């Protein structure tokens, strides 16, 4: 017996919504079209709902092992499912960091047992993320690592980064970089701008990111490595990536929802729920990110979901850790503030959250097509409510978007034909 998703709106090849049924059998999409026969199948009424491929987020922090008070693989993937995500890639800055193949295999196995989303772990570039000695890339790849990164820190030594890119190029691995020159960033807590000066906080200049983006692009040109820039934030970085792409350099880049929607002028007061790394930058930086996304310089959107405990985020802004959560609010935030305002189309937004990240890393996900995995997200574009951190599935409540009224909330998520989350007010599937 299969399952028919009946009468939902599916975007066609031109981005126009068409009423279509989706037949799921054996965890895959068996048929897609108008008025499919449902004899012998279970039926889900999707009337009035948008039916999307399962969303793909290639930058999240699940915090396990080592930081289970902040998040676990179980709670993080439950948050992903609520947000409509079926595939997430977790960063390796855990304790211990994912610098050994047995740790990568452990994360994959635990995620298969407990996860409500498909989990693809990144592994470290350097042992202990110390920036000195390369991890064993071949063993990490063979254990199932998606790519390598020292996210949370930039690789400070250019010779180490060049060696990493040479090794990764030989193995066909992507090197993904958190770009931050620590000598320039110093002890900064926020962007080096008006907010920092007003409240006497140490600032992080955009150049702290841009100089490493430029350096790594030069190393990419030398080594031929596939290079990905994590959470782009500065206008200078956007310009460097744009120039590199024009030259045919194999570089991709991502941007977060909060860097697209907020700048440092929006921070109401010193509040660690507005503290993330890279920081919210100037209005000009934010506009450059939107322009870069629209013109294809930036390839896709990732949340950089980074949960912390309430106690940690209650510290003052200089002492609190960096990071905000994002999995459960990404789609409605972007739909409300990019699509409904006319900045982009619905099809563009869906592409940036599905097929674009999948293509950047050669993954077979993010597609709604016969034969593809039955990863589906059903969205009610008319549903409107306020962001309520207390209702999050994530352990993290650290968000600057609390109380924002948003439209376009996911109401059902399905991974390979298995329901991983459903809005209990609309569905009661077993």
Rg of the chain over CA atoms, in angstroms?
21
CB contact set of 262 (below 8 Å; sequence gap of 6+)? 274, 280, 286, 400
Cα 290 to Cα 344: distance, rounded to the nearest angstrom: 10
Q: How far is CA 308 from CA 59, 160, 270, 314, 325, in A?
A: 16, 30, 17, 10, 8
- Give the pairing type, strands 226-229 and 251-255: parallel
Binding-site annotation, residues: 59, 61-63, 93, 151, 178, 231, 277, 304, 308, 322-323
What DSSP character marks residue 145? -
Instruction: Please pick, among 21, 299, 304, 375, the residue that the annotation labels catalytic.
Output: 304
Cα distance between residue 283 and residue 276, in whole Å: 16
Q: Which residues are annotated as a binding site for Zn(2+)?
A: 59, 61, 151, 178, 231, 304
304 is catalytic: yes
Phi-psi region of 399 (alpha: psi -120 to 50; beta: other; left: phi over 0): beta
DSSP states along 47-96: TT-EEEEPEEEEEE---TTT-TTT--HHHHHHHHHHTTEEEEEE-S-SSS
Catalytic residue positions? 304
């Amino acid at each position: 017996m299969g399952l028919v998703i009946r009468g939902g709106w599916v975007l066609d090849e031109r981005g126009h919504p068409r009423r279509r049924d989706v037949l799921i059998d054996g965890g895959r999409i068996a048929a897609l079209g108008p008025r499919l026969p449902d004899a012998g199948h279970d039926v889900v009424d999707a009337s009035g709902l948008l039916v999307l491929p399962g969303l793909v987020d290639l930058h999240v922090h699940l915090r396990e092992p080592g930081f289970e008070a902040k998040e676990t693989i179980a709670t993080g993937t439950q948050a992903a499912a609520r947000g409509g995500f079926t595939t997430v890639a977790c960063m390796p800055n855990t304790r211990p960091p994912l610098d050994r193949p047995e740790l990568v295999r452990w994360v994959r196995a635990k995620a298969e047992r407990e996860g409500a989303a498909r989990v693809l772990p990144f592994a470290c570039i350097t042992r202990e993320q110390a920036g000195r000695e390369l991890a064993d890339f071949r063993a990490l790849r063979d254990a199932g690592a998606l790519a390598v990164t020292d996210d949370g820190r930039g690789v400070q030594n250019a010779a180490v980064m060049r060696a990493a890119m040479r090794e990764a190029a030989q193995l066909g691995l992507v090197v993904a970089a958190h770009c931050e020159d620590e000598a320039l960033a110093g002890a900064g807590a926020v962007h080096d701008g008006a907010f920092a000066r007003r409240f006497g906080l140490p600032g992080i200049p955009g150049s702290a990111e841009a100089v490493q983006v430029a350096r790594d692009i030069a190393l990419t040109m030398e080594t031929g490595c596939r290079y990905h820039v994590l959470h782009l934030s500065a206008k200078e970085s956007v310009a460097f990536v744009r120039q590199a792409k024009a030259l045919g350099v194999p570089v991709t880049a991502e941007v977060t929802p909060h860097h697209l929607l907020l700048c440092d002028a929006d921070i109401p007061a010193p509040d660690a729920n507005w503290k993330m790394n890279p920081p919210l930058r100037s209005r000009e930086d934010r506009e450059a990110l939107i322009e870069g996304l629209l013109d294809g310089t930036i390839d896709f959107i990732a949340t950089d979901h980074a949960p912390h405990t309430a106690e940690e985020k209650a510290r003052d802004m200089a002492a609190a850790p960096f990071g905000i959560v994002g999995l459960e609010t990404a789609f409605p935030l972007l739909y409300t503030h990019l699509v409904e305002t006319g900045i982009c189309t619905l099809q563009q937004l869906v592409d940036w959250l599905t097929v674009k990240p999948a293509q950047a890393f050669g993954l077979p996900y993010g597609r709604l097509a016969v034969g593809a995995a039955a990863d589906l997200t059903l969205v009610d574009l008319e549903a409107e409510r306020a962001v309520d951190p207390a209702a999050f599935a994530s352990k993290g409540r650290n968000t600057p978007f609390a109380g924002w009224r948003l439209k376009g909330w996911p109401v059902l998520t399905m991974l390979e034909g298995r329901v991983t989350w459903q809005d209990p007010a609309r569905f009661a599937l077993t």
